[in-house]
Amino acid sequence: MMESRLYRGVVFALYQFSLLLGIVLMPIALLLGQMGLSLPMDKVLLRLESASAGANPN
């Protein structure tokens, strides 16, 4: 029970941190986009989102 709550808390914190990181890196991502490069933030968010959905029984 406690490990489950701890796991959900860690996954939630990582998900929120990745969203913040994506916002902070937006100017760099825009510059890289103009050069034809990209940051893989979508993959990180999808993995954390699926981990979060698996951690919550709802």
Distance CA 36, CA 18 (A): 23
**Ordered per-residue pLDDT tens for the chain, 58 residues:** 677 888 888 888 988 898 898 899 889 988 988 999 887 777 877 887 788 777 665 5
Question: CB burial class (10 A; 0-12, 13-18, 19+) of residue 42?
Answer: exposed
The pTM score is: 0.58
Would you tell me how many other CB atoms lie within 10 Å of the CB of residue 49? 13
